[in-house]
């Protein structure tokens, strides 16, 4: 546990020092939402109907930028090999990195919520529920995204390889998150949002467990 806390603290300090990059990623996500709204047109009913899907598309596209850069400082300073030589478990290093990436994606998703409400007329009183879905949905992106970011960190085309590897894997997470978010925005007379959120949580448990087990093998190779 102490190794995990140290790794998480290091990652949070790195995130704070590169906070300008986080703002740039937010602008990218907001711009994506704006462009998606142009595809629907001025029909407010259609905009509201597609708001959840476009929110998660923008969030997923933006996540590839932050995830691709999550190992950038270690690669630039040739420090990643040194981290692996420390008397700390690679699993702790992975979970420290993944938790930091997850927190960054949660903040990004919360920041994009007002943009979605304004552009898609998707106001709702279930804001805590939306934040909860964003939290468990982005967890399903952060764990495999961190693993694949480690795999592609030394590749020249890492920003191209990462989405090619990540997007097919997280399709179940994306579908579940879109459905749960849509029910919270449009109404949930049958009470189905909780079931979709539970499915999301199940995917999180699977991804976080498997990716933690596979990380050591990935970095050794």
Which pLDDT does position 28 carry in this prediction?
Answer: 92
Where are the chain's structural domains? Answer: 2-220
Which pLDDT does position 57 carry in this prediction?
Answer: 93
Contact criterion met (CB below 8 Å) for 96 and 67: no
Which pLDDT does position 198 carry in this prediction?
Answer: 92
Q: What does the DSSP 8-state code read for residue 136?
A: H
Q: What global pTM score does this model have?
A: 0.87
Which pLDDT does position 158 carry in this prediction?
Answer: 67
pLDDT tens sequence for the chain (221 residues): 566 676 677 667 777 777 778 888 899 999 999 998 888 878 888 888 889 999 999 999 998 888 877 777 666 656 555 555 555 677 778 888 888 899 999 999 999 999 998 888 887 778 888 999 999 999 999 999 888 888 887 767 667 788 888 888 999 999 999 999 999 988 888 888 889 999 999 999 999 999 888 887 776 65
Q: Smallest Cα–Cα separation from 53: which of 147, 142, 175?
A: 175
Which pLDDT does position 1 carry in this prediction?
Answer: 59
Token pair 């999301």 in the structure block, residue: 200
d(CA 40, CA 46): 7
d(CA 53, CA 46): 12
Residue 85 CA, chain-centre distance (Å), reads 28
Which pLDDT does position 84 carry in this prediction?
Answer: 58
Q: Smallest Cα–Cα separation from 137: which of 86, 209, 63?
A: 63
């Amino acid at each position: 546990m102490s190794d995990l806390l140290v790794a998480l603290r290091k990652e949070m300090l790195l995130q704070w020092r590169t906070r300008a990059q986080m703002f740039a990623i937010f602008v990218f996500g907001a711009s994506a939402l704006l462009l998606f709204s142009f595809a629907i047109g001025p029909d407010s009913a259609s905009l509201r109907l597609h708001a959840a899907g476009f929110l998660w598309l923008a969030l997923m596209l933006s996540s590839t930028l932050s995830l691709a850069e999550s190992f950038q400082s270690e690669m630039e300073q040739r420090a990643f090999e040194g981290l692996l030589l420390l008397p700390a478990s690679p699993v702790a290093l992975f979970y420290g990195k993944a938790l930091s990436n997850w927190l960054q994606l949660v903040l990004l998703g919360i920041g994009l919520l007002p943009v979605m409400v304004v552009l898609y007329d998707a106001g709702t009183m279930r804001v805590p529920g939306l934040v909860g879905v964003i939290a468990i949905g982005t967890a399903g992106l952060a764990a495999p995204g961190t693993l694949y970011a480690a795999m592609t960190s030394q590749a020249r085309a890492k920003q191209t390889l990462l989405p090619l590897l990540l997007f097919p894997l997280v399709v179940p997470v994306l579908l579940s998150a879109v459905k749960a978010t849509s029910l919270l925005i449009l109404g949930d007379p049958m009470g189905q949002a909780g079931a979709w959120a539970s499915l999301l949580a199940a995917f999180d448990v699977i991804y976080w467990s498997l990716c933690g087990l596979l990380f050591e093998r990935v970095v050794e190779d």
